[in-house]
Structure 1
Amino acid sequence: MEFLNILTQNNVAAFLLLLLRFSGLFAFFPFFDNQFISANIKAGLVFFCTILFFPLVPQMKYDLTLVEFMIAGGMEILLGFCVGMILQFVFSAIAFGGDLMSFSMGLTMASAYDPISGNQKPIIAQVIMLLALVVALSLDFHHGIFILISQSFDTLPLGTFALKNEFVTYCISAFGSMLVVGFAMAFPVMGILLLSDIIFGMIMKTNPQFNLLAIGFPIKIAIGFLILMMIVGSVIYHFQQEMIRAFGFVKVLFLSQ
């Protein structure tokens, strides 16, 4: 009988809007959009999180028509898309840097299936992406999103999200930063390998019998791996800084509406 008393139109509307908020987050959030996580598991997690967080939702009057409810639900999914895009910019910078490193080392053809994106990617980019994902999980970035959701019910009530100009401005800035950060991460490897290409070219000019494919190519790959091992700490440090910056804007998106 108590369950039927809870099952009012107002509570059902709040529950569905909260369900859509979590659905948008799990659909576009890094790590949760992994291809290895099946849709059934994602749906179960969304439903479980909705039940877990529903008691935190403040009592409000959701007097919405069907069209207004559909618009409010669409904005909740858009919220998850915006949060996922903000964080994906950081991971895209890592992927872009890894692609540049692979291209410089001549390993663009050495691609394998990436279980995270479901596409073929160079091995170097995959290794750096997996390392960045482990670092992100060690920073509890997934827990941080849940904390922000629990704090956002008062500042960003269900169905009230509106896209602001600040988000567009941040996306433009983050896209430029993604290219700059990715290139900066790959620049040491690219610079040293460019210097090695010049040296190999000079050797071939003075010694035409020098077999570049048999000797120079393995040396080039070895140099690339050596430089990568030396700079991987710096790459992860820049990734952490960009992740903190992205979470700062996500916090603004959730708590400053």
Structure 2
Amino acid sequence: MELLAYLTEGNVANFLLLLLRFSGIIAFFPFFENQLLNMQIKGILIFWLTVLFIPIVEVIPPADMTILEFIVAGLSEIMLGFLASMALQIVFGMISFGGELISFAMGLTIANAYDPVTGTQKPIVGQLLTLLALLIMLALDYHHLFFYFVSSSIQEIPLGSFMFSDNYIQYIIKSFSNLFLIGLTMAFPIIALILLSDIIFGMIMKAHPQFNLLAIGFPVKITIAFAVLIVIIPAVMIHFKREFLSAFDALTILFQ
């Protein structure tokens, strides 16, 4: 009987809107949008998170909400998850872009492999850096930050009333410009050394025409690139850690 008394129109609308908010977040947030996670598992996770967080929902939608108004409110909840995830996905885009530049400089652009995270083909170096970044993200207590963001969004943004601000648009535009700049900065040491090795090989071929560049040059360039990559990976991951935490802090713009 208590359950039936709880199933009022306002509480049911609350539950459905919170379910849609979790659906948008789980569908687009890093790690949770992993293609290796079964859809049934995602569905169960969304349902149980909704059950756990429904007690902290205070604002109840009006009982006379029409179907059209409810659909618009549901779309705003999904938009919240999409826009919030965009700030975090841009940080992973920096790592992926830097890895693609490194693969291009090493001559491994054709050597693509299936990426189980995104379900697409990626260069090997870019996939390696992305997986390392994912491990760093989990080491930063990403699940705790995730729960904190959800609880803050429920308290600050009433269900069905999300509207993004101009400040968030400006932040996304600035982040997109930093994506290419930071990605190039990460790959620059390897690109510079490989360019220097190309100049040296060109001078050797000029002095010794019998020098076989295809047999000697490419293995040497790949070896140099991997040696430098091992050296700069700690700095790249430290930079990723700083950018990731900064992006998570910037999500508070959505609450303004």
The Cα shift of 1:59 comes to 4.6
**Percent identical:** 52
Superposition map of 1:114-129 within 5 A? 114-129=115-130
Instruction: Answer yes or no: is the 8 Å Cα contact 1:100–1:186 preserved in 2.
Output: yes
Structure 2 alignment gaps of length 5 or more: none
The Cα shift of 1:251 comes to 2.5
CA distance in 2, matches of 1:240, 1:115: 22
Structure 1 alignment gaps of length 5 or more: none
The Cα shift of 1:153 comes to 2.3
The Cα RMSD (Å) is: 1.0
The Cα shift of 1:216 comes to 1.0
Residue range with higher mean Cα deviation, 70-79 or 140-149: 140-149
Q: 2:157 is matched with which residue?
A: 156
Deviations 1:127-153 (A, max 9, x none): 000000000111122321211211232
Amino acid at match of 1:62: P
Question: Which of structure 1's runs of 4+ aligned residues deviate more than 6 A?
Answer: none
Q: 2:9 is matched with which residue?
A: 9
Give the TM-score normalised by the residue count of structure 1: 0.97
Q: How many residues align?
A: 255
Amino acid at match of 2:147: F
Query: Counterpart of 2:4 in 1: which secondary structure?
Result: helix
Q: 1:47 is matched with which residue?
A: 47
Q: 1:227 is matched with which residue?
A: 228
Superposition map of 1:240-251 within 5 A? 240-251=241-252
Instruction: Answer yes or no: is the 8 Å Cα contact 2:35–2:119 preserved in 1.
Output: yes
Give the TM-score normalised by the residue count of structure 2: 0.97
The Cα shift of 1:155 comes to 1.5
**1:171 corresponds to 2:196:** no
Q: 1:65 is matched with which residue?
A: 66
CA distance in 2, matches of 1:13, 1:116: 33
Superposition map of 1:175-254 within 5 A? 175-253=176-254
Query: Counterpart of 2:161 in 1: which secondary structure?
Result: coil
Instruction: Answer yes or no: is the 8 Å Cα contact 1:35–1:115 preserved in 2.
Output: yes
Instruction: Answer yes or no: is the 8 Å Cα contact 1:14–1:62 preserved in 2.
Output: no
Q: 2:91 is matched with which residue?
A: 90
